[in-house]
Amino acid sequence: MKQALITGANGFLGHVLVEEFLKDYEITALVRPGTKNLSRLDHLKDRIKIIFHDITKPLDHLLSELKNIKLILHAAGNPSSDESLKDPVKVVHDNIIGTINLLNIARNLDIERFFYYSAGETLGPVSLEKESAETDPYNCVSIYSASKVGGSEMCTAFHHTFGIPISITHVTNTFGQRSQVNRFPIMVIKKLLRNEELKIHIGDDNLISGRRWFHCEDVALQTRLILEKQKTGCEKWNSSGSTFLTNLEFATLIADSLNLKLKFDLITTSKKGNEPFFIPSPSKLVSHGWIEPLNISQRIKQTVEWYNQNPQWLSI
């Protein structure tokens, strides 16, 4: 069985990648030292090898342990736009230097693919009538998205310089089991269960923000499809859902799944870096055969049922 290295394996996206790729890979999970919360991996820890290492530090001493790795899924980094406002240097360091260190060790391995999870925000905000394609120029409006572009460009440069086979995905907003509690879908669930009013942000143009929300498991399945379909040495893909929803429409679908009435208030906001519409199109993936296993309503229902059965994850 081939071996895969998954960085950020205890994260929201990372643990889903571990679940999916355990089906046909031996998994080595790279986790930041001092991490207290490994609960996302509790049901998997007996089947994987965990290495504690801060990727902002070189990985040279791990070369012998990683010598048989064939696939690197790089999902680690700092995913917080809010933190990039508070400590931009740390976010840049995590997302760019961490990626360089992984690429540097990858060039000493006989890997078949280095998979980098970038962000849909890197393509910049668009009007409601427009979508972003993989070929569009980057247009960052936050330190976070700029740091993800820095990692993407390092991947491209390492491919051209050292021949590392690269896949880059622009991942849009995701939801699902074991999510961070400060994510919008979890906030909606908690507001509904407490019968509290949800604040829905609108921009200066009175338009409600929206995204192509999709389930975290679909990211893993799209990863599989890209690994199968990509024929070039370095390529970019939009990883997103098929359905655009405003945040109000998304919250309403969650409420419907809970059989509860949504109480909400529309408030104007001008938070820097949080533009109304980031809409990367998944048409390239669709053209290569991507079909959602469940539609957005079914995925929301699945997620709500999971949290009903695992309410402790609403407060972790």
289 in any annotated domain: no
164 and 51 share one domain: yes
Question: Residue 80: pLDDT band by 50, 70, 90 thresholds?
Answer: low
229 and 134 share one domain: yes
117 and 9 share one domain: yes
10 and 36 share one domain: yes
CATH number at residue 89: 3.40.50.720
> Are 105 and 60 spatial neighbours (Cβ–Cβ below 8 Å)?
yes
Is the pLDDT confidence value at 273 over 60? no
122 in any annotated domain: yes
Distance CA 27, CA 222 (A): 19
13 and 25 share one domain: yes
Enumerate residues 6+ apart whose C-beta is below 8 A from 59: 53, 66, 101, 102, 104, 105
285 in any annotated domain: no
Domain of residue 190: give its range: 179-212+243-277+294-314
pLDDT tens by residue, 234-255: 999 999 999 999 999 999 999 9
pLDDT tens by residue, 139-158: 988 899 999 999 999 999 99
Distance CA 243, CA 234 (A): 27
220 and 303 share one domain: no
Of 116-120, 163-167, 186-190, 201-205, the one with minimum mean pLDDT is 201-205
134 and 228 share one domain: yes
| pLDDT of amino acid 44 | 94
Highest mean pLDDT among 152-161, 176-185, 261-270: 152-161
| pLDDT of amino acid 290 | 97
Question: Residue 274: pLDDT band by 50, 70, 90 thresholds?
Answer: low
